[in-house]
Chains A and B, each alone.
Chain A
Amino acid sequence: DVKVTQSSRYLVKRTGEKVFLECVQDMDHENMFWYRQDPGLGLRLIYFSYDVKMKEKGDIPEGYSVSREKKERFSLILESASTNQTSMYLCASSRNPGSLYGYTFGSGTRLTVV
């Protein structure tokens, strides 16, 4: 069963902390994505990557960075967590962006910054 695995389901961090959200996929997909989900706003793209060591800014990259050292792993980094980054974070992957089967999503990490 193919999967996208996010390392934590729930996280509570303090303001100013550096936070790492990890995502691993086992489908050999080239494309990986980080979204945040907020009520009434749907999913908003933070960063995406088409290949190892490549990254592209999405619609709301401010306050975030990413790392993709290996094809299967795409990490989202909050350099200095703030309360407005409290959200559900969703990782996704696809073989190609217009994939017939869409994206495969992880179960999400609910991050609370206090």
Chain B
Amino acid sequence: AQKVTQAQTEISVVEKEDVTLDCVYETRDTTYYLFWYKQPPSGELVFLIRRNSFDEQNEISGRYSWNFQKSTSSFNFTITASQVVDSAVYFCALSVNTGGFKTIFGAGTRLFVKA
């Protein structure tokens, strides 16, 4: 069975601090996709990044960076120099093809960035 664990329920930081959101996944499939989504207070989930299981290269996009490690089944997300606008719920997700593609989401991590 597939599973995504986001152990951090809530994180609170002060603006300009760096923060890392953890994501651990479980699957027996060798081909899979990992995602991060952001859900601001408006409610609409916004896609941030996708990684496939064959690409362990880390990625940086502005203040965002992602660290994918198959050895530990982790796909962590770091925000550098956090800003108030980063306050949101962040979801990690896993897609596998088991009789059709399905995406399993973690429980989410709520990030508060205080000014």
Name A's B-contacting residues (CB within 8 A): 31, 33, 35, 40-45, 48, 50, 56, 58-59, 88, 90, 92, 96-108
Contacts and interface: CB of A to CB of B under 8 A. Distances in A.
A108 B42 CA distance: 9
Nearest to A104: B47
Interface stretch (B13-21, B80-88, B103-111): B103-111
Q: Which 4 pairs between the two chains have the least Cβ-Cβ distance?
A: A97-B101, A102-B47, A43-B105, A105-B45
A102 B101 contact: no
Chain A CB within 10 Å — which of B6, B33, B44 has the most? B44
Interface string B87-113: 000010101010011111111100000
A50 B100 contact: yes
B102 A45 contact: yes
A33 to B, nearest CB: 8
A100 B50 CA distance: 6
Given A43-B91, A101-B47, A102-B50, A56 B100 contact: yes
Contacts, number: 64
Interface residues of B, number: 27
A42 B50 contact: no
A94 B28 CA distance: 24
Given A101-B50, A103-B47, A40 B107 contact: yes
Contacts of A56: 100
A107 B46 CA distance: 10
A42 B106 contact: yes
